[in-house]
Amino acid sequence: EVQLLESGGGLVQPGGSLRLSCAASGFTFSSYAMTWVRQAPGKGLEWVSVIHSGDSAASYADSVRGRFTISRDNSKNTVFLQMNSLRADDTALYYCVKILGYCRGGSCYFDYWGQGALVTVSS
Amino acid sequence: QSVLTQPPSVSAAPGQKVTISCSGSSSNIGSSDVSWYQQLPGTTPKLLIYDNIKRPSGIPDRFSASKSGASATLGITGLQTGDEADYYCGAWDNSLSVFVFGAGTTVTVL
């Protein structure tokens, strides 16, 4: 059974930093791309970042590029999201998601979702 | 403003059919495969359709989808109260190298 368990969320002041972790199990972690998707309270889904398998190449949404960094540790089956220079509009539930398919080939599907980690940016 | 355009809401009576459109461009839907996600109230999103038309195991065949050019459509037949949810389309954008979601469509069963 695929499981994705996020941790590291919390309350942070504007300009602060947080590091989210996502521990994965139930599949061969190193073989799959992983992504983060966020959802602000009462709003829709917003894609944040992806890290591909193999070369661990990453892509980011414009809204977080230069502030967030995604990484992975295949030896620990864990993906991370380092969030710096946080702003109020980064407040959201952050989902860790496993990818089915090959995004760079145009086949990018999000088949398993974690329960989410809540990040609140407020003074 | 979302890159993919969906209607904010659709509604129909129980047993009826609804369709949700998702309009994009040649750099996303026009050249990538579309997926659809269902988010029931207070729950985590779930993959409903992938590879434009395929249903994961466990998704009933009341849910179907199609794609033509830079647009895609999700259809729900035999509408049930349990189908009340937000539905999102998504696709990889090959020009921007990012994933894009639609803003979501709320389905209401009258």
pLDDT tens, B56-85?
A: 999 999 999 999 999 999 999 999 999 999
Closest by Cβ to A106, choosing from B39, B46, B94? B94
What per-residue confidence (pLDDT) applies to B52? 97
Q: From the candidates B99, B100, B105, which should be mutated to test the interface with A, based on the most A CB atoms within 10 A?
A: B99
Contact A107 B47 (CB under 8 A): no
pLDDT at A106 over 90: no
What per-residue confidence (pLDDT) applies to B2? 81
pLDDT at B1 over 80: no
Mean pLDDT on A81-110: 95
Cβ atoms < 10 Å from Cβ of A82: 14
3-state SS assignment for residue A15 = coil
pLDDT tens, A6-30?
A: 999 999 999 999 999 999 999 999 9
3-state SS assignment for residue B79 = coil
Closest residue in A to B26 (Cα) is A106
pLDDT tens, A27-44?
A: 999 999 999 999 999 999
3-state helix, strand, coil in chain A (%, to 5): 5, 55, 40
Contact A44 B56 (CB under 8 A): no
- 3-class secondary structure for A53-89? CCCCCEEECCCCCCCEEEEEECCCCEEEEEECCCCHH
Tokens 């849910």 appear where?
B63
CA angle A44, A47, A53 (to 5 degrees): 150
Cα dihedral A83→A85→B4→B95 (10° resolution)? -80
Q: Which of residues 37-76 of B touch A (CB under 8 A)?
A: 37, 39, 44-47, 50-51, 56
Contact A47 B99 (CB under 8 A): yes
pLDDT at B110 over 80: yes
Strand ranges (E), B1-110: 9-12, 18-23, 34-39, 46-49, 63-68, 71-76, 85-93, 98-101, 105-109
Residues of B in contact with A104 (CB under 8 A): 92, 97
Contact B44 A45 (CB under 8 A): no
Mean pLDDT on B18-45: 97
What per-residue confidence (pLDDT) applies to A43? 97
What per-residue confidence (pLDDT) applies to B53? 97
Q: How far apart are CA B83 and CA B59, in angstroms?
A: 12
